Structure 1
């Protein structure tokens, strides 16, 4: 390899929040640790409830189990290092470890997107194809779909790492982020990143917009079915259930799409705002998912208001037809 193309960087430094004053670093670490702790407690509780209650061994709860596992892994991949930076002033990460973290960041984000797709599929089939729901979405079917959701994204995330790893990194080694991601790393390469950023953008848009398109379609169908119900109370119950899920879906997708597009079409804003946006959509959903998707339903499976309201909509739509 020619000398000018050789990478001289052996480690990277995570900047965290660049504008954060030293006197607030301990507070930032404490907040991030609390987020990590609550994420672990909530999602581990979901997994425990699933493992100890056989009544929960149904398609919807298998999907929720996948979501909890993904949230735990993503938070564990990203948070400990940035917490260590602010608590122990340990912000350096080795060259190889940074790319390993980048792989898991993009891989787990892709898995999360696929799991949200499965969740929307479950709701769509339960309401719009209720008579065939039990035939289409069996436990064995969910198992196959879940394995697919974990296996398929491996190739895309690996492609990002394979293309970025050999690039020459011979200038700054400071990553303006709380963890290693493709944009943060490749902007430090001493070469034109256009050839590398375009495929990464295409991958991100496919893995994001593909599931998002179906999610939008499914919820449009659900809302249409709900509006056909004459009973106002049943209608409001179901819309309430859907609205909480839509909030999380919008929180996950909208800021993520904005950041990806902004970085590739020349929209600029301060590094602190960009990092705050990324941390919000990366860490907030895993922390509150157990409350919105899981604990409210899992703690009272025999009196599940969400499922019962959905079934009421199905029955009334069937009778009306």
Structure 2
């Protein structure tokens, strides 16, 4: 239990500092950058959701996981980015105490959810490639929908534990958050007393929710690669292998930088400047949601075919403006 001096001023709001070394003349440029990134991310993921909703042929397990990931990516960027844009456009970095705690919870909730969704995607690909004949019986739409809904609930557990612990802490003194948003690597530094225990618990929880799914993902991809090598058809082998390599790059972006950011406060020799830590956090947080619609959707032949059909249909119904002949019939 922390002992708090009565002379301490309890914190009622926090201030998002962002990049501490960024000069004010670059604020608007950085704000426009994050605005463009936010709009592109939301529009790209919304396109996938709309295509899935309108095309009955896409309503199967693989695309259910893609839509789930798209919804999660929209949720994460909507929670994290708008306040960062306000910080650099209007110099408004202030955020209420409970709003900051809520943002911290949702940041880690969507991070945990994405990790679990990537696990479900690897499970789906593992069954489809390694057990192609049993796949239609093992992975039905109902099974995948139930699994997906369960993941959206389960993902609240570990971030919820961290959020409850934070609400029991007493914050006093500085309210400056040297980060792009409220998260569990920055808020514990502002509590009264020693924050090492809180940081250690946060690190253990983060490593569990990240590494357990990652272990299964690595295991599944090892078996997928073994199955690809055994394929007799060269074209099918190269196509499947290309998809796996692309997804492996996204997984590397998502998992590897996260480890260094979470581990840095616990290892004195692993030093990161505040600007580097924030840039790394934004890199692994915002780049995958931006790339996911292109990686998982536009590389998929079914979706590309549907988009071409939509564009062709739109061109067919658009009247030709140039050279159009209009015939008028007059009857007495």
TM > 0.5 fold call: yes
Q: Give the number of equivalent residue pairs.
A: 303
Residue 269 of structure 1 corresponds to 272
Task: Flag as ranges the 4+ runs of structure 1 deviating above 4 A.
Answer: none
**Are positions 1:109 and 2:88 aligned together?**
no
Residue 317 of structure 2 corresponds to none
The structure with more radius of gyration? 2
**Are positions 1:135 and 2:144 aligned together?**
no
Per-residue CA shift, 1:186-234, capped at 9, x if unaligned?
1111211233222221211111001100111111111111112344333
Residue 196 of structure 2 corresponds to 194
- Is the contact made by 2:75 and 2:110 (CA closer than 8 Å) also made in structure 1? yes
Pick one of 228, 231, 241 that aligns with 2:243. 241
State the SS of the aligned residue for 1:13. Answer: strand
Residue 298 of structure 2 corresponds to 295
- 1:41, CA displacement in angstroms? 0.5
- 1:302, CA displacement in angstroms? 7.7
Residue 169 of structure 1 corresponds to 171
- Is the contact made by 1:115 and 1:149 (CA closer than 8 Å) also made in structure 2? yes
- Is the contact made by 2:46 and 2:70 (CA closer than 8 Å) also made in structure 1? yes
State the SS of the aligned residue for 2:95. Answer: strand
- Is the contact made by 2:84 and 2:181 (CA closer than 8 Å) also made in structure 1? yes
Structure 2 CA distance for aligned equivalents of residues 302 and 175 of structure 1: 45
1:1-321 pair list within 5 angstroms: 3-4=4-5, 8-266=10-268, 267-297=270-300, 298-300=302-304
Q: Which runs of 5 or more structure 2 residues have no equivalent in the other structure?
A: 308-332
- 1:2, CA displacement in angstroms? 6.0
- Is the contact made by 1:13 and 1:92 (CA closer than 8 Å) also made in structure 2? yes
Q: Which runs of 5 or more structure 1 residues have no equivalent in the other structure?
A: 304-321
- Is the contact made by 2:228 and 2:237 (CA closer than 8 Å) also made in structure 1? yes
State the SS of the aligned residue for 1:124. Answer: helix
For normalisation by structure 2, the TM-score amounts to 0.88
Higher RCO (CA-CA < 8 Å; seq separation 6+): 1
- Is the contact made by 1:56 and 1:301 (CA closer than 8 Å) also made in structure 2? no
- Is the contact made by 2:49 and 2:70 (CA closer than 8 Å) also made in structure 1? yes
Per-residue CA shift, 1:162-192, capped at 9, x if unaligned?
1012212112110010100011001111211
CA-atom RMSD in angstroms: 1.7
For normalisation by structure 1, the TM-score amounts to 0.91
